[in-house]
Amino acid sequence: MHQFTLPDLGEGLEEAEIVTWYVNEGDHVVTDQPLVSVETDKAVVEIPAPSNGRIARLFGAKGDIVKVGAPLVEFAEGAEEDTGTIVGELGTGEQPPAAAAASTPPGGEGAQVFPAVRALARKLDVALDLVEATGPGGTITRADVERAAKRMSHRGPAEPLRGLRRAMAQRMTAAHAEIVPATVTDEADINDWRRDEDVTIRLVRAIAAACKAEPALNAWYHSGSGERRLIERIDLGIAVDTGGGLIVPVLRNVAERTVSDLRAGLDRLRADAIARAITPEELRGATITLSNFGMIGGRFANLIIVPPQTAIVGAGRISERVVAHQGQVAVRRTLPLSLTFDHRVVTGGEAARFLVVLKSDLERGTPLRGSSE
């Protein structure tokens, strides 16, 4: 008997959720035949058989969370020992994050809970850390638990986060713990745009111009080693809202591509993201991110940067506003802009200059109309 364990899935990931088994116990498989698909880091990855053999046992069912190194399949014959196959690659110089700290037992800090009361809380699905202790010496009583259960009875059942939302929660927690964010905002006057202007592509090209002017915002910072890397090529993460959560595919080398090529590439990435058919490689390596949240609503935002990136640009809802224009009061179409940057490695001056170039590029009239600045 030989066990095949969940391999290293790259980028320091420690676990994955089983999506689909392609084999059953008793099946004979051949090398590289798909065994199972798992979801991790907002992507679905197929894991192939390491060698030929007959499957004696499958570990885990659809929806189960499996740790890296935990058994997936037990082979009865013909399979070599798992050699720790690598799926994807870790960035140079990066190490997988340390295992999460063990959770503390339930019950508020200092609260005393008798075993029978703890059992009642489990039965009624009441988290003891949310229960007010009224018993002597800070003891949580049966009445306390029952009172909390009644108070929470109108709420829906607690459900573990799965798939995209679980990956999003992990990423945002890591970002909040590490990044030191600061945000600057402004508005671009886009009244000279055509009414059918491709807003997202204009934003992409303006970000490329701003990155060329201020390279500090098109960079990676690895806090563990204290190293910053300025990146010449601009690979732009584009936040895509899907029914299951947020996906951020990467539009590559945006500064060197034509408008039509950028639009075709963006359409394909968005369609693949919504269909959950996007590959893990197309979710990796962004150097800066764009969130065009104004397509849904909102003007300005304090955005979240995902390490090792150092900046994210947000575009709010386009609206007509009363402004001063050429010394006169006028109604003009404006595009709100938010720039959140990692203040550990990006200065306020660099961020402000980036935003000035971004705004200036957007305020240029459409060349096809013969407009000038």
CATH topology of domain 164-369: Chloramphenicol Acetyltransferase (3.30.559)
Q: Which of 50-64, 66-80, 127-141, 267-281 has the lowest mean pLDDT?
A: 66-80
Predicted confidence band of residue 298 (pLDDT cuts 50, 70, 90): very high
What's the confidence (pLDDT) of residue 112? 74
Cα–Cα dist 234/237, whole Å: 10
Q: Which of 139-153, 186-200, 289-303, 341-355 has the lowest mean pLDDT?
A: 139-153
The pLDDT tens digits for 315-368 are 999 999 999 999 999 999 999 999 999 999 999 999 999 999 999 999 997 543
What's the confidence (pLDDT) of residue 195? 85
CA angle 234, 345, 348 (to 5 degrees): 95
Q: Which of 10-14, 66-70, 80-84, 346-350 has the lowest mean pLDDT?
A: 80-84
* Class of 112-151 in CATH: few secondary structures
Segment 278-303 mean pLDDT = 94
Sequence-ordered list of residues with C-beta below 8 angstroms from that of 153, at least 6 positions apart, any chain: none
Are 143 and 131 contacting, i.e. CB atoms less than 8 angstroms apart? no
Q: Which of 4-18, 70-84, 147-161, 277-291 has the lowest mean pLDDT?
A: 70-84
CA angle 240, 242, 248 (to 5 degrees): 30
Are 112 and 87 contacting, i.e. CB atoms less than 8 angstroms apart? no
Percent of the chain with pLDDT over 90: 51
What's the confidence (pLDDT) of residue 42? 56
Q: Do 164-369 and 2-77 fall under one CATH topology?
A: no
Cα–Cα dist 55/372, whole Å: 69
Predicted confidence band of residue 109 (pLDDT cuts 50, 70, 90): very low
Contacts made by residues 270-278, CB under 8 angstroms, sequence distance 24+ = 270/238, 270/240, 273/240, 273/242, 273/247, 273/249, 274/240, 274/242, 276/44, 276/242, 276/244, 278/43, 278/247, 278/249
Exposed, middle or buried: residue 226 (CB in 10 Å: 0-12, 13-18, 19+)? exposed
Token pair belonging to 100 = 């999460």
Of 55, 74, 56, 67, which Cα lies nearest the Cα of 2?
74
Of 7, 21, 10, which Cα lies nearest the Cα of 69?
7
What is the domain partition of the chain in residue ranges?
2-77, 112-151, 164-369
For helices 115-124 and 142-151, the axis angle rounded to 10 degrees is: 10
Predicted confidence band of residue 274 (pLDDT cuts 50, 70, 90): confident
Q: Across the chain, which distance is largest between two alpha carbons, in Å?
A: 83
Are 67 and 99 contacting, i.e. CB atoms less than 8 angstroms apart? no
* HEC assignment per residue over the chain: CEEEECCECCCCCCEEEEEEECCCCCCEECCCCEEEEEEECCEEEEEECCCCEEEEEECCCCCCEEECCCEEEEEEECCCCCCCCECCCCCCCCCCCCCCCCCCCCCCCCCEECHHHHHHHHHHCCCHHHCCCCCHHHEECHHHHHHHHHHCCCCCCCCCCCHHHHHHHHHHHHHHHHCCEEEEEEEEECCCCCCCCCHHHHHHHHHHHHHHHCHHHCEEEECCCCEEEECCCCCEEECEEECCEEECCEECCHHHCCHHHHHHHHHHHHHHHHCCCCCHHHHCCCCEEEECHHHCCCCCCCCCCCCCECEEEEECCCEEEEEEECCEEEEEEEEEEEEEEECCCCCHHHHHHHHHHHHHHHHCCCHHHCCCC
Pairing outcome for strands 328-342 and 250-251: unpaired
Predicted confidence band of residue 216 (pLDDT cuts 50, 70, 90): very high
Predicted confidence band of residue 372 (pLDDT cuts 50, 70, 90): very low
Higher-scoring residue by pLDDT: 28, 86: 28
Predicted confidence band of residue 101 (pLDDT cuts 50, 70, 90): very low
The domain 2-77: what is its CATH number?
A: 2.40.50.100
